[in-house]
């Protein structure tokens, strides 16, 4: 972990990120050179296995982007492995209560503030060349993806060690409709942003439409991931096919 990178992420201001879902170290290395404030490697829904995660983290060594790993579940062993391998922080999906948020923080921190196991031989400590763990605590982003999480947003935001309340729009929208919750999505966004602001924390969101960035920022969403490697490639491929599918057939050479 780079203390300067963590300090910049925790400072106020707009933090531009993007999603890495394909598990390609080449794409990770390229994106890491492009100047994003932070990157998210997705182990929950992405095509990223543990070997690809390790290689992607290696490819991002020296990048000025904060590297966050979204674990597939809030299991301490998954959280520890991502951090031992060199991630700057974790994103934990489906954090519905303050107790779940506290459990995530405990799993990410060493004693006396947590229960994370300590080994000097891991990549995060340069395979034993570093003698002490990083002085800065890893970043912890709690995903708000349900009506229950929105209702507990104030309590989650108040948990020491939680840096960002991060809305998962797909899950939240799906859950609101599936359960016929009496909350509108826009109202959920307002409540989460207000909870984060009141606790002196940041609010974040995965933004699939770059044109919405300014409006979301005005609402309080300073931590935004704009699209993903998969979506960017898909859109570009579709644009190319759409553009050139209308080309006239090549003229056949005369015989």
**How many domains does the chain contain in total?**
1
Q: Is 45 a residue of the active site?
A: yes
CA proximity to 226, closest of 28, 40, 25 = 40
Contact call for residues 70 and 41 (beta carbons, < 8 A): yes
Cβ neighbors of 61 (< 8 A, separation 6 or more) are 86
pLDDT band at 51 (very low <50, low <70, confident <90, very high): confident
101-133: burial string, b at 16+ Cβ within 10 Å, e else: bbbbbbbbbeeeebebeeeeebebbeeeeeeeb
Lowest mean pLDDT among 26-30, 81-85, 132-136, 146-150: 132-136
pLDDT for res 248: 74
Mean pLDDT of the chain: 94
pLDDT for res 9: 94
pTM, rounded to two decimals:
0.93
Residue 254 lies in a domain: no
Residue 251 lies in a domain: no
Q: Is the pLDDT of residue 135 over 90?
A: no
Parent domain of 52: 3-244
Residue 252 lies in a domain: no
CATH number at residue 35: 3.20.20.60
Question: pLDDT tens digits, residue range 188-224?
Answer: 999 999 999 999 999 999 999 999 999 999 999 999 9
pLDDT for res 254: 59
**Options 15, 45, 94, 217, the catalytic residue:** 45
Residue 253 lies in a domain: no
User: What is the rounded CA–CA span in Å between residue 196 and residue 166?
Assistant: 10
């Amino acid at each position: 972990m780079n203390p300067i990178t963590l300090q910049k992420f925790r400072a106020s201001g707009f933090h531009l990120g993007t999603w890495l879902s394909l598990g390609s170290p080449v794409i990770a290395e390229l994106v890491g050179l492009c100047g994003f404030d932070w990157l998210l490697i997705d182990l929950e829904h992405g095509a990223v296995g543990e070997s690809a995660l390790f290689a992607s983290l290696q490819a991002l060594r020296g990048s000025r982007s904060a590297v966050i790993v979204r674990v597939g579940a809030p299991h301490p062993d998954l959280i520890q492995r991502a951090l031992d391998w060199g991630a700057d922080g974790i994103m934990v999906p489906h954090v519905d209560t303050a107790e779940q948020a506290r459990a995530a923080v405990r799993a990410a921190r060493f004693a006396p503030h947590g229960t994370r196991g300590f080994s000097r031989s891991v990549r995060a400590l340069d395979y034993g060349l570093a003698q002490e763990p990083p002085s800065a605590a890893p970043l912890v982003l709690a995903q708000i993806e349900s009506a229950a999480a929105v209702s507990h947003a104030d309590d989650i935001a108040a948990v020491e060690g939680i840096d960002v309340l991060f809305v998962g729009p797909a899950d939240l929208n799906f859950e609101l409709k599936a359960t016929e919750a009496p909350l509108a999505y826009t109202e959920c966004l307002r409540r989460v942003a207000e909870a984060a602001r009141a606790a002196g924390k940041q609010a974040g969101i995965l933004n699939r439409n770059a044109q919405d960035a300014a409006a979301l920022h005005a609402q309080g969403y300073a931590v935004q991931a704009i699209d993903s490697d998969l979506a960017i490639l898909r859109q570009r491929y579709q644009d190319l096919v759409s553009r050139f599918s209308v080309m006239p057939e090549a003229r056949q050479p005369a015989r």
